[in-house]
Amino acid sequence: MKIFEKREYMDGGPNDRGFTVGFIKTNKTREDLRKEQGHGFIDYIELTEEAFLKRKRQAEYNLKMFDI
């Protein structure tokens, strides 16, 4: 299975880096996901499992800041 980061872009300009709106684990290809979406401002970036787990650990670490 592949892990994809779902990224949404604001205007598609040269400085638009977009922001992550979620992650998807699927057997489909990037092209299949883009065809299903039908929205030009959403893209899918394939991640390795190590990169995904690193982002997950960072998110959990950041979430702990709100424990009071």
The pLDDT, as a whole number, for residue 38 is: 76
Strand pairing partners for 42? 8
5 neighbors 42 (Cβ within 8 angstroms): no
Q: What CA–CA distance (Å, rounded) separates 53 from 44?
A: 17
The pLDDT, as a whole number, for residue 44 is: 94
Output the tens digit of pLDDT for each of the chain's 68 residues.
999 999 999 987 889 999 999 999 999 999 999 998 877 789 999 999 999 999 999 999 999 999 88
Q: 46-49: long-range contacts (C-beta < 8 A, 24 or more apart)? A: 46/2, 46/3, 46/4, 47/3, 47/4, 47/5, 47/23, 48/3, 49/3
